[in-house]
Structures are given as C-alpha cells and as structure tokens.
Amino acid sequence: MKVLGVTGMPGSGKGIVAGVARNLGFTVIRMGDVIREESEKRQAPIGETAVRLRKEYGDFIVADRCMEKIKSLERINESKYDNDSKGKSKSGLYIIEGIRSTYEVQIFRDNFPNFKVISINSTPATRFKRLKNRQRSDDSNLKTDFEKRDKRELKFGIGEVIATSDYMVINESSKKRLKNIIRSILTNEMSNQS
C-alpha cells in the first residue's frame, strides 16, 4: 500500500494533483469532503464546521475519518486477489488531499509506512484569482473573505505542514507544467511502493 498526502493553501492546485493521481490509479480521499459532509449534517457553514469539529472531537478527527476510510477500502482490496499465479492481494494507492495540520500528518505517518507529503504553493494573488474563477461553495469573490479563510487555514497549522513537506512544488505557471511535475513525483513514489 502507498499513501501520500497533499497540502496547500486554498486555490494552490491540490485538485489538479488529485486529478493526476486519479489518472495514475490512486484512490483520492479528500479531507474537505469530511468537513463538507459534516457541514451538511449540521446545516452550518463549512469554515465554522471545520473549527467546531476539531474543538469537539480533537485535532485528529478529520485524519481519523480519512484513515478509517482508507483502511476499509484496503480491506476490500485485500479480499480480492490478482489473477497471477502468486495469488497475492492487490495493493492500494491512495492520496489524501487537503492536509492542514501536523496532527494530521502524524496520524498518517503513524498508520501508513513511508507516508510523504507533497505541498503545492502559489502566491496569494494567484490563488485569489483561481478561487474567484472556481466558485465552489466555500469560495468568495471578496478579498476580505479570502484573507479570513487563509488565516483560519494557518491557525490549523498548514504553514508548518507546508514547511516540512517531503516535496514542495511551486504552481505559478500552466496546469500542464504542474501535471508533469506531479506525474513525475507520483510515478517515482509508485516505483518505491512498499
């Protein structure tokens, strides 16, 4: 099994990384989906839910839920066997998109051997422009909302995750360039699969 993580501020390009990973056969686990699902249950704003969830259950809660999902998927994979003569179970490739804290990194490192983090970095101006164009439910056209969101992300500890990541990728040019860099990193990691 190979499990990798992706971090980066909103609009940095994590979704592009997930798309490349999916095309290479990785199952993508999005940490933000845990928050969005909980937000819908609570009928509360996404940002507020992210903060409340961690206050109520601890800093590990989102990582715990993602880790359990991976382990559950891997149990399913292990119950299916390759058709080769060795009869070994299939091994999974997973990428966790949206890591925001060192607590999350630690839980993944404790549970998945050789877990590595890829950080995607872009300037605030570039990210704001992308978010205005993307228009997901938690995106805003207002600079003040963008800055407030960045501050919330930084409070979770995303800056330290980025600073200590195994791979740092600058995403200030074309999608094609980012995809090529990510494809190279993921292919290299796949060849080192344990």
Across 25-33, average pLDDT: 92
For the cut 50, the answer to whether the pLDDT of residue 20 exceeds it is: yes
Q: Name the strand (E) or helix (H) holding 168.
A: strand 167-170
> Residue 17, exposed/middle/buried by CB under 10 A (0-12, 13-18, 19+)?
buried
pLDDT in tens, 35-52: 989 999 999 988 889 889
Query: Is the model more confident about 7 or about 47?
Result: 7
Give me the domains of the chain, ranges plus CATH numbers: 2-191 (3.40.50.300)
pLDDT in tens, 173-189: 999 999 999 999 999 99
Question: Tokens representing 168?
Answer: 């740092």
pLDDT in tens, 65-91: 999 999 888 887 777 654 443 433 345
Confidence (pLDDT) at 18 = 95
Please provide the DSSP assignment of 148-162 as one string. HHHHHHHHHTHHHHH
> Residue 83, exposed/middle/buried by CB under 10 A (0-12, 13-18, 19+)?
exposed
Reduce the DSSP state of residue 29 to 3 states and report it: strand
Distance CA 35, CA 172 (A): 28
Confidence (pLDDT) at 80 = 65
pLDDT in tens, 130-172: 988 887 766 678 888 899 989 988 988 999 999 999 999 999 9
Question: Tokens representing 30?
Answer: 């999005």
> Residue 70, CB half-sphere, CA atoms under 13 Å: how many?
28
Q: Which of 131, 25, 60 is nearest to 4 (CA)?
A: 25
Distance CA 45, CA 48 (A): 5
Residue 86 one-letter amino acid: K
CA-CA distances (angstroms) from residue 5 to 75, 82, 118, 184? 20, 26, 6, 15
- The whole-angstrom distance between residue 165's C-alpha and the CA centroid of its chain comes to 12
